[in-house]
Amino acid sequence: MLLAGDDADAKALLVGVIMAAGLRAVDAGGLKRARELEALGFLQLTLAAGAKTSWTGGFILAQ
């Protein structure tokens, strides 16, 4: 799960919650990165609404 923010304590808390849910947390940087993350979410919704992917689909961050 990608996350962004300027508050280090809040991000650390969120990383703990994400990891407790069995997901991998990836810090995308400061709050100014939220704009790109929102665009990625909009792309996902647009693809699902156009029946290009399922509503439960998502993106994978590969290493």
Residue range of the domain that includes 40: 2-49
Strands 26-29 and 2-4: what pairing? Answer: parallel
- Which contiguous run of DSSP H or E holds residue 27? strand 26-29
Given a cut of 80, whether residue 63 has pLDDT beyond it is no
For the chain, the average pLDDT equals 94
Burial of 53 by CB count in 10 Å (0-12 exposed, 13-18 middle, 19+ buried)?
middle
The reply to whether 44 falls in a domain is yes
Domain count, the chain: 1
What pLDDT is attached to residue 32?
95
What pLDDT is attached to residue 41?
92
Q: How confident is the model at residue 58 (pLDDT cuts 50, 70, 90)?
A: confident
Q: How confident is the model at residue 57 (pLDDT cuts 50, 70, 90)?
A: confident
Q: How confident is the model at residue 11 (pLDDT cuts 50, 70, 90)?
A: very high
The reply to whether 24 falls in a domain is yes
The reply to whether 41 falls in a domain is yes
The reply to whether 60 falls in a domain is no
Question: What is the C-alpha separation between 11 and 33, in angstroms, rounded?
Answer: 13
The reply to whether 13 falls in a domain is yes
Question: In the beta sheet, which residues pair with residue 62?
Answer: none
